[in-house]
Every structure is written in C-alpha cells, then in structure tokens.
Structure 1
Amino acid sequence: MRIAIKWFIRTAEFVAAIMMAAMFLTFILQILVRYTAPLGWLAEAVPLFEPSRYGWTLEFCLALWVWIIFWGAAFVVRESDHVSFDMVYHVVSPKARTWFAVIGGLAVCAGLLWSMEPTWSKFHILRLKRTATLDSLLGDWIRMRDIYSIYMVFLLTVSLRYAWRVWTAIRHGADNGLHRTSGAADQ
C-alpha cells in the first residue's frame, strides 16, 4: 500500500512539474514573440514568428495556472505544508487535539462537499462557453467547463483527504505523525 501511495504522489508531482514546464515554455514563447513582433521583416522572412499566431499563449498560461494551483493543492501539498495557527493545538492534551482534528476535519469536509452541487450547477453554464483563443491550439472542443473542472477534482480530493484525517484521528489519535516538523527527529 505504501508503495502505491508513494508512486501516486510521485506521479502527481510529475504531472505538476510537466504543467509548470509547459507554462514556463509558453511564457518564454510569449516573450520571444512580443519582442520580435516589431521586427516586421522577421515575420515576413519566417512566417512562424507571425505575432497573430500566438494569441493563445496568454490564455494557455492562465488555464495551466488554474490547473497547477488546484492539482497541487489536491495531490501534491501535504497537510504539514499548510500554514496553520496551532499555538493552542500544541498546548492542549492529546485527547483535545484529537477532538480538534475531528471537528476541524469534519468542518472542512462538510464545507467542501456542500459546495460541490452549487459549483457543478454553475459549471453547467460553462459547458457552452468556448475559450477565447485556445481553439487555435486545442481545437474547438474545449470549453471553459473543461478548464475549471479541476476545481471539482480539488473539492472531492481534499474532502476525501480530510475525511481520512478524521478517520485516522478517531482510530489512532491526532498525533500519528501528521504534524511533524523538520528538525532533529528527521535527521
């Protein structure tokens, strides 16, 4: 089981890295086209550098940014990587910490699951809306709902993660290694 989880985490990190590399390369392409656009002779000599062909780069970077944020938050960022205000958490008893983990986890899980239906109903409208410029890159099949669909994956995945956190806190207590910080214990 641990091998499968480790493989899944590595794959999720790889996908995030590929998306970041694609966004970076597209950004570099934007810069190249922007600074060669005033050179009209270059576009005539090399039609590949025609600036009007690269309107899609901005929207592609924005779509990748949305995917990187929600993909990373759902699959790459660990609970211990999140900012938390845990001054009270660390001074209470282990039983109280378990209750904090259970109540907090249930609140996050319930809030995210509750927001899924209203979010999906808004996505119903986006199924008709086409992207402004990505047609030239991906064809006319992609819709705004496809771009923002990663948000639904995020809602479901983070809900499941917090449900699992609640389950493990009930079974093993809140301090089963989830809130470790780097230091002497890690070395």
Structure 2
Amino acid sequence: MLKRASRWAIHVTEFIAAGLLAAMFVTFLLQIFSRYVLQTPFGWTLEFCLILWVWIVFFGCAFLVREKDHVTFDIFYLAAPARVRQVLALVAAASITVGMLWAFLPTWDYIDFLKIRRTSTVREPFSGDKIPLRTIFSIYAVFMLVVAARYAWRFIDVLRNGPPER
C-alpha cells in the first residue's frame, strides 16, 4: 500500500513538472510567434517564462531530483572506511537539515515581505490583478522544507543502515 502511494505521488509530481515545462514551452513559442509573425511582442511572455523557470527548478529539486542524481565530489568519501563514511554522511545530512531549518524563518520573512511587490506584466487569470511576488517565490519555502525533511530522513536512514554506497 505504501509503495503504491509512493508511486502515485511520484507520478503526480512528474505530471506537475511536465505541465510546467509544457506551459513554458508553449509560452516560449507564443513569444516567438508574437515577435516575428505578429511583429508585436507580448510583454508578459518573458516574465511568465521566468516565473515558470523558478517553479520548475525549485519544484523539481524538491520533489523529483534524487540524492544519487546530484553532482558529488566523493573521492575522499569513497576512499574512507565504512565508519568514517557513516560519520561524513551523518554530518552532511545534519548540516543540510539544520541549515535549511535555521534559514527558513528569515527566508520566509523576506518571501512574505514580497507580498507588497507585484509582477510587472503577468496578471492573475480571474481578478486581473498583478501577481504578488510572494506567490511566485513561495515555492522556495516549500523547497527548503522538503529538502530539510529529506535530509532528516537520510540522517535516520544512515543511522539505521550504515553509510550509503555510491
């Protein structure tokens, strides 16, 4: 049951990321069409592509990129004995968890401050108001919490099962 729910969650997050990429691609094509065919570029397409890029990067890194997919410089780590690798993995996981959690409140304060600033050209679909930057950058707060939770889980996993092999 847990594996089924996990697979379902993975598929949902992959679908969301694919949707964001598709929206960015369509917006980019619309930008090209408006600039070179209509000879009147739409101002909102560039800003919308940038917003989508921010969401793709942080959403993807939070929910889709696995630990083994990250670039690592692990020459010393792999050359160390198992006990040293376990200590290094524990220190790294704890550092990332503590660092993300320690920085979360000041980061959220700044993201919350951005509610007074709004997008230049992109507007909300129903109200027509410009979008607060807090809405756009809120994905970074989600990213921080998810990464902290993932590395807290990694810390527990290393304690239980020993150092991971690469």
Per the normalisation by structure 2, the TM-score is 0.93
Q: Distance in 1 between matches of 2:124 and 2:16?
A: 24
Give the match for residue 56 of structure 2. Answer: 68
* Structure that is richer in strand per residue: 2
Moved over 4 A (4+): none
Residues 46-100 of structure 1: CA distance to partner in whole angstroms, max 9, x if unpaired?
A: xxxxx36x32111110000000000010001000000001111112222211111
1: CA distance, partners of 2:23 / 2:89: 38
Q: Which of residues 138, 143, 158 is equivalent to 2:147?
A: 158
Corresponding position of 2:136? 147
State yes or no: 1:103 paired with 2:91: yes
The answer to whether the 8 Å contact 2:13/2:63 transfers is yes
Distance 1:137 1:29 in 2: 17
Query: Aligned pairs, how many?
Result: 164
Residue 3 of structure 1 and its aligned partner are, at CA, apart by 1.7
Residues 116, 132 of structure 2: 8 Å contact kept:
yes
Structure with bigger gyration radius:
1
User: Which residue in 2 is equivalent to 1:10?
Assistant: 11
5+ residue gaps, structure 2: none
Cα distance in 1 for partners of 2:113, 2:131 equals: 14
1:84 to 64, 67, 72: 72
CA-atom RMSD in angstroms: 1.6
> How far apart are the structure 1 equivalents of 2:87 and 2:124?
53
- Give the unaligned 5+ runs of structure 1: 39-50, 181-187
What secondary structure sits across from 1:134 in the alignment? strand
Taking the aligned partners of 1:96 and 1:10, their CA distance within structure 2 comes to: 36
Contact 1:110 1:159 in 2 (8 A): yes
Per-residue deviation, 1:107: 0.5
Shift of 1:124: 2.4
**Equivalent residue, structure 1, for 2:107:** 119
Cα distance in structure 1, aligned partners of 2:130 and 2:37: 31
Q: In the aligned structure 2, how far is the partner of 1:87 from the partner of 1:98?
A: 15
In 2, the alpha carbon distance for the partners of 1:98 and 1:3 equals 30
Identity of aligned residues (%): 46
For 1:36, give the aligned amino acid.
V
Distance in 2 (CA, whole Å) between partners of 1:136 and 1:170 is 47
Question: Normalising by the residue count of structure 1, what TM-score does the alignment of the two structures yield?
Answer: 0.83
For residues 13-32 of structure 1, the aligned pairs below 5 Å read 13-32=14-33
